[in-house]
Amino acid sequence: MSTTSTIADPKAGHGHAHAASTLTLAIGAMGVVFGDIGTSPLYAFRETFASHHGVPGIEPDAQHIHGVLSLVFWSMMMGVTVKYVITIMRADNRGEGGSLALLALIKRTSDKAGWTGPLVLLGVFATALFYGDSMITPAISVLSATEGLQYIVPGFEPWIVPTAVAILVCLFALQSRGTDRVGKLFGPVMMTYFAMLATLGVMHLIANPMIILATINPLNAVQFFITDGYVAFIALGSVVLAVTGAEALYADMGHFGRKPIALSWLTFVYPALMLNYMGQGALILSQTSPEAAAVLIEDPFFLMIPDMVRVPVIILALLATIIASQAVISGAFSLTQQAIQLGFMPRMEIRHTSAAAAGQIYIPVINWGLMVMVILLVLFFQSSSNLAAAYGIAVTGAMFIDTLLLAGVLFSLWRWPWWKALPLVVAFLIVDIAYFGANLVKVPSGGWVPLLIGFVIFTLLTTWSRGRELMRASMAESELPIEIFAKSAHNSATRVPGTSVFMASTNTGVPSALLHNIKHNKVLHERVLILTVAVQGVPYVDEAERYECKDLGNGFYRVTINCGFLEETDVPSLLKRLDLCGAPFDMMQTSFFLSRQTLLPSSKPGMAIWREKLFAWMLRNAASAMEFFKLPTNRVVELGSQVEI
């Protein structure tokens, strides 16, 4: 298979990635893609020098500052530029990126391969870790910026946590209104923010420009490890805070495209971030006494701001953290939609908040669940320094899994020779394992939080996926061939005018709702559709491949509507475009019949009883198919059945 990426389908409904200019998209990407990594200078540099897990903090002298800055520079170079921008972003699924999109690509092209099973579990776990990250990012970002208000409002310390909570409550409360209008401001605001980061850095670099050469010299990073050993390894767990958000480049590729994201990163964001980090280092080195340096290293970002612009800069930083939080929340909505469509989550209410942008969605359950967890994190950890102990492990875990998924792409899909693929994979794995190992040390002091969240969500995702498989297998055991049923039902039931649509989860057998309807009502409409909505492993399906229709005779049709995992499943709208089953569909003459299964946990082999009960609970609380498929409420009939798994 070619090593070039698949081109996004221009008919797919996300033509904004093609219509807008690269420069416009590059500016827009600054507001959405780089919010997380862009707010790292507020806390990453200071945390590297702080004491952690019983290990003394690093002395803020020239040798250590040069070593840390070199680590930050090469971490961004290897972990973001080479790994994501140059390599992983070429592995897109028709223009879409992210763990689930890559997972769908691997499953679609190598479904029968024995190695895909473990990769699927890894991809699902990466998805679970993302939810942990989406809870911690708003908490640490908003809390760190709110802490900066103490430098412009004396005595503000007791109000830091309440203010952060108030900002977060307002942020989540506004989600239902959509981010379409506010999103247009994100790019210019973040562009101003990154320009501010660069300007602050340059102001302090003027006095010590040689620090630039020390930063790009990898020998300083090597010397740091040779000199400090385990202390340097512990510091690596804080250095990784500078690259948190790198996975967002890949996940948001479908919104902006690879080139605009790469352009933003290489020409503006990466230089601005490094100038600010080097400026923080130059500020510390400008001090004549160790005592003065020790004071500044406590909060170098806010202390590097000149008094005359302190208020607007801190307000701008606060806006940037809100934007970073917004981007992560929106990402959680998009990821949830993908997970639902791919069968890893139960149906949920999904509201579209923009008539123009299909990606602008709002999921109430996810929104309020995230809000509760984010506020609990703020109240539990109280400060951004405490939260830093919990931050990083979810990100490094997801980045490590992305490398393993990439290995599957290189060897199986792109068919790279081992001598070309192996060195690249090994290099990425060495970096990822080092970061992940350094963050594992954080587990006792807070790192257990994202891991616990990840394992809980992983259990929910895999339980739902496995439960659906078992339920379908159980229903298939008593399945009737549709051809035989169509002939017998035509002879035994009274036919009435109109169309009936029986929703079916699979495109084989007879839906239970149809069996119960014949059993109890003994009536059939003139036209009977057995309809299956099949979600494919691509973001969008070409219109020519949308419909599959089989005429079974006697007015019976089996129809499959193919949808991508980013498409809305509006069944009435899709049926109106279907012209393969006789006359056009009139919704006022169409009735929809749904099957609602009640699950009965049993001792059958398949899943543990506790997981079967968990699946039954998830099934009971899933949004109804009527809401999910946008069916008209006055045209729906539900018929129940019981299923054992």
Choose between 489 and 449: higher pLDDT.
449
Q: How far apart are CA 164 and CA 147, in angstroms?
A: 9
Write out the two tokens for 498: 């109109």
pLDDT average, residue stretch 148-175: 88
Q: How far apart are CA 103 and CA 117, in angstroms?
A: 11
Kindly state the average pLDDT of the residues 228-244: 86
When pLDDT is cut at 50, 70 and 90, the band that residue 475 belongs to is: confident
The Cβ of residue 133 has, within 10 Å, a number of other Cβ atoms equal to 26
Amino acid making up residue 5: S
- Of 265 and 246, more confident: 265
- Position 7 confidence tier, pLDDT thresholds 50, 70, 90: very low
pLDDT band, residue 113 (cuts 50/70/90): low
Q: Token pair 């002298």 is at which residue? A: 61
Condensed to tens digits (0 to 9), the pLDDT of residues 70-92 reads: 999 999 999 899 988 888 888 87
The confidence score (pLDDT) of residue 112 equals: 57
Confidence (pLDDT) at 10 = 33
Range list for CATH 1.20.1740.10 in the chain: 18-466
Contact 127, 39 (CB under 8 A): no
CA distance 592 to 587: 10
Dump pLDDT digits (tens) for 342-375. Answer: 888 898 888 876 555 555 678 899 999 999 999 9
Kindly tell me if the per-residue pLDDT of 52 is higher than 70: no
The pLDDT value given to residue 265: 92
- pLDDT band at 266; cut points 50, 70, 90: very high
Whole-number pLDDT of residue 4: 29
pLDDT of residue 178: 65
pLDDT at 299 (0 to 100): 87
Q: How far is CA 385 from CA 44, 147, 322, 328, 395, in A?
A: 9, 11, 18, 20, 17
Say which range, 101-110, 306-315, 319-328, 341-350, has the weakest mean pLDDT: 101-110
Q: 529 has which bridge partners? A: 501, 557
Query: In this prediction, what percent of the chain has a pLDDT beyond 90?
Result: 22
More confident residue, 414 or 282: 282
pLDDT-based confidence at residue 17 (cuts at 50, 70, 90): very low
pLDDT for position 12: 37
Q: Are strands 361-362 and 494-503 parallel, antiparallel or unpaired?
A: unpaired
Give the C-alpha separation, 413 to 109, whole Å.
7
What tens digit of pLDDT does each residue of 529-558 get?
Answer: 999 998 887 888 888 889 999 888 888 999
What pLDDT, on a 0 to 100 scale, did the predictor assign at position 401? 87
Share the mean pLDDT of the chain. Answer: 83
pLDDT given at position 114 = 55
Q: What topology is assigned to 18-466 in CATH?
A: Amino acid/polyamine transporter I (1.20.1740)
In this predicted structure, what is the pLDDT of residue 76? 92
